[in-house]
Amino acid sequence: MKERYEKQRDKLTTDLAKLEDRREKFVTLLGNVRIKRYMFMVPYFDSHELVQHASTKAAEYRGKSLPHLDPGFQIVVVDEDAYADIREQVLLNPQPLVEVHEQTQEDVAAWIRENSHSFTTAERKLQGLIQDDPRRLQAVESLVMQYIKGENALADMRRKFPDNWERATRYRNHKEQLLIFEYPSTDIQFSSLSKIAKEIEHELKEDAPALDNRLRSAIAWASIADWIMRCPLDFPTVAS
């Protein structure tokens, strides 16, 4: 708690200094508008000392008589609980963090050439469920397409939103560890894949609510494709 307070205190002090150092820019930008409340937003705070520091700094800056600050200038420390209603609206209708891009058949063919072992594993597993060779090949290619879409979206999310990527990845690892118990190979059918995908989407909504529906679906099917190609997800063996 002490370390968090000190970092938040120093951050506030550093940011406030810009009000004075860049006064000309503020005056040009704001015109006749005067800053009355300075909202210092943090993920959360648990020290009354931060509020006291904010009050002290507000009095200090009122004393500077800066042209762009209101005589009643105040500093208010807030966290996301101050916007609980808006937060719920955002979580109910999340904006896409990243775009899920469609892939072409050329993308799929190139991936298969570079990952022939994974492709062969998936095709072998589906032999017992899809007897028709063309339909089985089409199913595996579709899984590969979903895998590429989902993994590309995750890679993009890792660069832009690492916290949400970490939540999604942590959930995937947890789900993978439970697959052998929830879906033993003697029970799983091809229709089970859709059921698993819906479970992943629902559980991801709880674990990572910032993910929109399309992104959750892409991650779900990419996970299934990955598990089929790497063996955590297996199917009954057809008797010869």
Instruction: Give the distance between the most distant pair of CA atoms in the chain.
Output: 89
Query: Of 229, 225, 199, 216, which Cα lies nearest the Cα of 153?
Result: 216
Give per-residue pLDDT as tens, 138-176. 999 999 999 999 999 999 999 999 989 999 999 999 999
Q: What is the mean pLDDT of residues 215-220?
A: 95
Of 188 and 136, more confident? 136
Give per-residue pLDDT as tens, 180-200. 888 877 667 777 889 999 999
pLDDT reading at 238 higher than 60: no
pTM of the model: 0.62
Query: Of 208, 218, 211, which Cα lies nearest the Cα of 167?
Result: 208
3-state secondary structure of 97: coil
Q: How many CA atoms lie within 13 A of 87 on its CB side?
A: 7
- pLDDT range class, residue 45, cuts 50, 70, 90: confident
Give per-residue pLDDT as tens, 78-102. 988 888 888 777 777 667 889 999 9
Give per-residue pLDDT as tens, 202-216. 999 988 888 989 999
Q: What is the mean pLDDT of residues 120-128?
A: 86
Which residues are CB-neighbours of 98 under 8 A, at least 6 positions away? Answer: 153, 156, 157, 160, 161, 215
Write the DSSP assignment of 98-157 as a string of letters.
S------HHHHHHHHHH-HHHHHHHHHHHTTT--SHHHHHHHHHHHHHHHHHHHHHHHHH
Write down the pLDDT at residue 240.
43
Average pLDDT, the chain: 89
Write down the pLDDT at residue 46.
81
d(C-alpha 66, C-alpha 57), whole Å = 14
Task: Give phi and psi for 39, each to the nearest 5.
Answer: -90, 110
- The structure tokens listed for 138 are 């089409």
Write down the pLDDT at residue 236.
66
